[in-house]
Structure 1
Amino acid sequence: MKDGPDIAHIAALIGDPARANMLTALMGGMALTATELSAEAGVTKQTASSHLSKLEAGGLLTIRKQGRHRYYQLADTDVAELLESLMGVAMRAGHVRTRPGPKDPAMRHARVCYDHLAGDMGIRLYESLLKRGHLNEQAGEPALTVAGRDFVTGLGLRLDALEGTRRPLCKACLDWSERRTHLAGSLGAALLDHMYASGWAKRKPDSREVVFTKSGQQAFERSFGEG
């Protein structure tokens, strides 16, 4: 018997189609009920509860209780980033479950990856930070530079709060639709929250899609364009 982490167990948990659909539904960062997740998976509520128990026991989900209700969400950002990477491998290998539809271009343009910006807009943000010297890459992971710290502080973000969590400040996340890197970590989440708070963009209801307003797109270009 080999030593080390049992990746086969995690792969088996994710590999079931119903459980994979549930996990994908939670990629938007929202906590959902067993009833909502059973609809996403196309199974009965009783079957969904069995699947959810296995995912929780496997460390992929956590439960939040509010009154009589139980809500399920991804255990942490590492799980979200694992799922995003698997989506990239599946897309590259041609394992696509449905034909591309009208929503695909919008999802590829801008969407939520758990709590940070993904899609073309997320990649542009990341590459702009690199090009402007606000990030540099060390051993494959991004790090905020002195100029980057000034830039982030200038946006009104509190670096002391972002660095005071167990989560990395900056983390590279492979984008499944573009196969390039977007920014995760506490900074990636804070930048998306800043865009929401500034009125640049909003989350489309019941979707991972992020919709930028015309003025928000212009503001994004000023802060993260190629200029």
Structure 2
Amino acid sequence: MKEGPDIAQIGALIGDPARANMLTALMGGKALTATELAGAGGVTLQTASAHLAKLEAGQLLVQRKQGRHRYFALADESVGKLLESIMGFAAGRGHLRHRPGPKEPALRKARICYDHLAGDYGVRMLDSLVARGAIDAVGDGLALTPAGESQLQPMGIDVSDLRSSRRPLCRSCLDWSERRAHLAGSLGKALLSSFFEKGWAHRTAGSRSVVFSPEGERQFLALFPAVS
């Protein structure tokens, strides 16, 4: 018997087209019902239930009960990071499931990756934070600097509260469309949440795309200038 992690089992779980579509639908960070996921997977509710049971047993999903309803979500941030990396790998080698359509530019510009900002704007934000010394980037690792903590305070980001979480403060996540890193971790989540709370941006129903208002876009681009 071969030793080591069983990547074949994880590959088989993700590799089924219906399950892959269900997992992608959950990349938006929202918990969805079995009926909603059946629609995303293009299968019947009975078939979806069987797929969801396998994904839950493989620890890719968690089930949450609220009253008489059951909701499913990605097990944790690491699952989202894994899926985003696989999507980047596939896109980089031309393995695309459909021709680019109207939704493609919006997704590439700004979208949710589990619970943080991805796409061109996500990469731009991390590049800007690194360029001004707010975040140190060493290899694949990211660390918030003392200067960065001071810069985040006027934005209403309570770093001390984020540090109390068991979740990593800063994490690098490979962006599938930009093929470069964007900011994940509790800080990435806090920044995206602040954009929503300020009214700078909103989610698009039925999509992972994030749409910035004209004023929100102006504020975002001024706060995170492009790095030449």
How do 1:38-187 residues align onto structure 2 when only pairs under 5 Å count?
A: 38-187=38-187
Aligned to 1:5: 5
- Unaligned 5+ segments in structure 2 are none
**Deviation readout 1:41-80 (Å, 9 max, x if unpaired):** 1111111000000000000000010011000000000000
RMSD of aligned residue pairs (Cα, Å): 1.0
Aligned to 2:200: 200
| SS across alignment from 2:70 | strand
- What's the offset of the Cα at 1:222? 2.0
**Deviation readout 1:72-105 (Å, 9 max, x if unpaired):** 0000000001000000011011110000001101
| SS across alignment from 2:172 | strand
How do 1:202-221 residues align onto structure 2 when only pairs under 5 Å count?
A: 202-221=202-221
Amino acid at match of 1:102: P
- What's the offset of the Cα at 1:158? 1.1
| SS across alignment from 2:157 | coil
| SS across alignment from 1:173 | strand
Mapped partners of 2:177, 2:183: distance in 1? 14
Q: TM-score, normalised by structure 1?
A: 0.98
Mapped partners of 1:44, 1:161: distance in 2? 43
Q: Percent identity?
A: 60
- Unaligned 5+ segments in structure 1 are none
Counting matched residue pairs gives: 227
Mapped partners of 2:221, 2:135: distance in 1? 18
Mapped partners of 1:144, 1:2: distance in 2? 40
Mapped partners of 1:121, 1:94: distance in 2? 23
- What's the offset of the Cα at 1:226? 3.4
Mapped partners of 2:176, 2:135: distance in 1? 22
Mapped partners of 2:27, 2:88: distance in 1? 14
| SS across alignment from 1:168 | coil
